[in-house]
């Protein structure tokens, strides 16, 4: 995506990482594939988009990244283990 934006002569100076979804239920009842999809969207895509756009922001000394977590980032949640853990990652990654 970053290459296409650059090819168009555009510059991203605001990146809002707000995509995400949560699963709910007993951990052993939720499919591993669905949990992996949740991790990929809530964590991996946020890290990848930050990798794609932060270097140009730093180089140009212009830009802001907003990573949206959740109150779930501050506590473990019954029946939402992966969601809460993924949002805790977002909070920790952002603060780091």
Instruction: Give the catalytic positions in this structure.
Output: 83
Kindly tell me the burial class for residue 45, based on how many C-beta atoms sit within 10 Å of its own C-beta (0-12, 13-18, 19 or more). Answer: middle
pLDDT tens profile 6-21 = 899 999 999 999 999 9
pLDDT tens profile 77-94 = 999 999 999 999 999 999
CATH topology classification for 12-95 = Rossmann fold (3.40.50)
Question: Which residues are paired to 15 by β-bridges?
Answer: 65
Helices (runs of H) and strands (runs of E) counted in the chain = 4, 2
> Does 2 score more than 90 pLDDT?
no
Residue 64: in which H helix or E strand, if any? strand 64-67
pLDDT tens profile 31-57 = 999 999 999 999 999 999 999 999 999
The torsion defined by the Cα of 36, 89, 19 and 41, in degrees rounded to 10, comes to -20
In this prediction the pTM is: 0.91
> Does 61 score more than 90 pLDDT?
yes
Question: Domain segments of the chain: what residues?
Answer: 12-95
> Among residues 37, 38, 33, which one has the least CA distance to residue 22?
38
């Amino acid at each position: 995506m970053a290459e296409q934006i650059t090819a168009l002569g555009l510059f991203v100076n605001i990146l809002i990482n707000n995509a995400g979804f949560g699963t709910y239920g007993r951990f052993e009842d939720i499919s591993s594939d669905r949990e992996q999809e949740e991790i990929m969207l809530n964590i991996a895509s946020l890290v990848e988009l930050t990798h794609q756009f932060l270097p140009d922001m730093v180089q140009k000394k212009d830009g802001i990244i907003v990573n949206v977590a959740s109150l779930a980032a501050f506590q473990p949640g019954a029946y939402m283990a992966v969601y809460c853990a993924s949002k805790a990652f977002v909070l920790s990654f952002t603060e780091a």
